[in-house]
Amino acid sequence: MQQAKSVLNNIVLIGFMGCGKSTISRELQRLLGYPLADMDAIIEQRAEKPITRIFEEDGETAFRDMESALLAELAAADHPPQIIATGGGVVIRPENRQRLQHLGYVVWLCAPPQVILSRTRHSQDRPLLHGENQATRITELLAQREPWYRQCAHLSVDTAGLSSREIASGILESARYFFTGHDQTSC
Ligand code: S3P
**What is the mean pLDDT of the segment spanning 3-21?**
87
- Give residue limits of the domains in the chain: 10-179
Q: Which of 1-5, 128-132, 146-150 has the highest mean pLDDT?
A: 146-150
**What is the mean pLDDT of the segment spanning 117-127?**
90
Instruction: Choose one of 40, 54, 86, 91 to mutate for the ligand 1 pocket test, by most ligand atoms within 8 angstroms of C-beta.
Output: 40
- For 81-91, the pLDDT digits (tens) are 999 999 999 99
**What is the mean pLDDT of the segment spanning 137-146?**
97
Determine the 3-state secondary structure of 21 from DSSP. helix
Determine the pLDDT at residue 183.
52
Determine what percent of the chain is predicted with pLDDT higher than 90.
Answer: 83
User: Does residue 187 have a pLDDT over 70?
Assistant: no
| CATH class (in words) of the domain with range 10-179 | alpha beta
Cα 150 from chain centroid (whole Å): 12
131/94: higher pLDDT: 94
User: Does residue 14 have a pLDDT over 80?
Assistant: yes
C-alpha to C-alpha distances, 59 to 51, 62, 70, nearest whole angstrom: 10, 6, 17
pLDDT classification of 184: cutoffs 50, 70, 90: very low
Atom of ligand 1 nearest to the CA of 128: 10
User: Does residue 25 have a pLDDT over 60?
Assistant: yes
Taking the centre of ligand 1 as the mean of its atom positions, its distance from the CA of residue 117, in whole angstroms, is: 14
Per-chain mean pLDDT for the chain: 92
Question: Is the beta carbon of 127 within 6 A of some atom in ligand 1?
Answer: yes
* Cα angle for residues 44, 48, 49 (degrees, 5° grid): 65
Question: Is the beta carbon of 93 within 6 A of some atom in ligand 1?
Answer: no
Question: Is the beta carbon of 20 within 6 A of some atom in ligand 1?
Answer: no
Determine the pLDDT at residue 181.
76
**What is the mean pLDDT of the segment spanning 114-140?**
92
**What is the mean pLDDT of the segment spanning 171-177?**
96
**What is the mean pLDDT of the segment spanning 54-79?**
95
| Residue 128 neighbours by CB under 8 Å, 6+ apart | 17, 89, 137, 141
Determine the 3-state secondary structure of 37 from DSSP. strand
Return the amino acid letter for 22: S
Cβ atoms of residues 24 and 168 within 8 Å:
yes
Atom of ligand 1 nearest to the CA of 86: 15
